[in-house]
Structure 1
Amino acid sequence: MTTSHRQVRCPVCADEFEWPDEPMVWLYNQAAGRYEAFDVSTVSSVKQADLRRGGYRKCPNPSGDMVEHFIPASYGDYGEPLVIGLVGAPSSGKTHLLTSMVRQMHINGLASHGITVSALDFLRHRRFREQFITPLEQGGALPGTGTGMTEAADILLLRAPTGDRPLVFFDVAGEDLVNPDARNRSTRFLLGVDAVIFVHASEDPLETGQSSTASENRSFELAIERLRDRRIPAAIVVTKSDRLRFVPPAERWLHGGDEHTVNAARIRAESRDVYAYLHHAGAGASLRPFEAFPRCTLHFTSASGGDAVPVETDGPTRWHFPRGFRPSRVLEPLVSILAMTGAISGHEAEKVGMP
């Protein structure tokens, strides 16, 4: 780790500021439900490091346009953060995909690439685990993302052969993503993303019955227009692909299971098949990221392994996956993003997403 001064973009308010080298950190008081300032210079160096690892810094928010907020005290001590946003319409499966992705990373799903992850923001990750990962592991379907969310879903520490860096995920409600209001704070995360995962539910074009020329994906279109001038990588993901497990070309990839190496030719082949599927299904609008971004890959994934069914209760209807939680290929889009952003290096990684 280093303590040199550098500019950092806050993952909450998107303001940039100089990362401070100061002894003051904020510790969260669980009983009182608030952050409290603590001068770590009064304790030993070992305790200082531990408190910084679990503590927070108050963001100065130079623009003064958000309420008081805190980010991990060690956020600026590592390499450049990798900020990934998930974009998709309501009910496209963004939350299930992100939850499965984070869970698979935590059970060493990236080990074959020499990568491990751990929580960087302990409070945020605990909340994410309690609200999303644990229910999904127990076979429960997750609710959609609430509207008005402005903060990152999870902030992790990615340890890779190329260096350690914060890994930040944003999952914003589809209703917010299609809101064209320029003052919409929920989409501010787009100002600081380093890559985008565009999420398309497999059944969407089949339900609308639109032609490829008439189809519309407002969440994709608005995000593309805000990001068009930035040369960042992207991935297009067809979620709920378990519904296509007997339908070519998706069945070929789903039956193949998870991959453990970076193979640019294989990724290009899957991208070609997903492109053909979306074009044939009449989802031409969902292919626009492929045209808008210089490096883009396409993937079939299944975050749960099957459809959820309702459970009869005396209260509100609950949904669960009767076949259990069985994710498939959910890390493939992330591996492509990691290759295209340099977190995974090598000759094959350099070719991922290239025309």
Structure 2
Amino acid sequence: MNLITRRRMLFTNNLLITKHFSRKNSSLSTKDVEDTTDTKNTEDTKDTKEKIPSTLYSLAARLNLNFANQNLLLQAVTHKNFYENDLTNEGLQVLGNHALGLYVAEYLHLKYPLLPLPCLQQAVTAYCGHLTLTVIGQEVGLQYVVRWNNFTDEELFLQGKEIPKKNKSVGKSREPVQRITQGTAISHALKAIVGALYIDKGPQSARQFIHDHILSRDVNMKDVIEIKEPKRELSALMKRLKRPSPISRLKSETGRLSYAPAFVVGVYSGTEQLGEGFGSSVKMAEFRAGKNALLQYYLKEAKDFILPSIIDSHEKQATYIPTKVGDTPPRL
């Protein structure tokens, strides 16, 4: 065997060995890629589960929220200026705001049937207004889960952050976001939770949530209602009820010539005392007496009334007897 034949044999053997190991390494690398892909998919699944923080589950437990889709609760606490997510609570907040107004106004209108419209609006605001919802949200811990940005577009630009130019869900130009406070974000989130309940569980669940967490709170209605001209308003009310015109009478006084006088005035319709007030002057006592008389009339509570919103079946509709509501005009 000459030298050339030996070299050809060595070259052929080396080529076969190289092809063998290359195929083996290729199969190993394919298996490694599959394992890497499986690991990555597992990690992605874990990341998807971890998108909902544990604090949000704690909030759901405190408020007894049992959503079929937990991502709906995450959307409810995401303000529209939170740039990192396209799903925001803007639509849920609008729905929840109307549901709050409906169920709160329904309850107060039946509980205080003689309450005039301006006073009813003041009472509704006291129960579900911006400040009240902010306080309720802070008490249940919404400040720890609400997602929002306390930056304007200009500040984000100065920080070098990307600002979205369009709203993907609508497909139109997005208006510049103004600065909002944490209280606003909390208030909107609480309204959005009501809206999410309305969509996910139905109107009965939303109504029950409002009664449990909003209407169950103690609100002093006498401090809420504002009456600017009690004397004129009381005179118009007595005339409408066809009763004698109200007359103010000084019941008692002390220290008229001192630095701290005190007067007690009662307001009467015929022989019936409608209200009583005190003050450091006769005029102040008369003002408070008139206001006290109006509040006693307006805040007469109806007992054992039935809310129309709980009538959810034809059987209940057949036996439903509407509660008699007063007809106090909005302006006297």
Could you say which TM-score interval applies, normalised by the shorter chain? under 0.3
If each structure's helix is expressed as a fraction of its own residues, which one has the higher value?
2
What TM-score does the superposition give when structure 1 sets the normalisation length?
Answer: 0.23
Larger Rg: 2
Q: Which has the higher contact order (CA 8 A, sep 6+)?
A: 2
The normalised TM-score by structure 2 is: 0.24
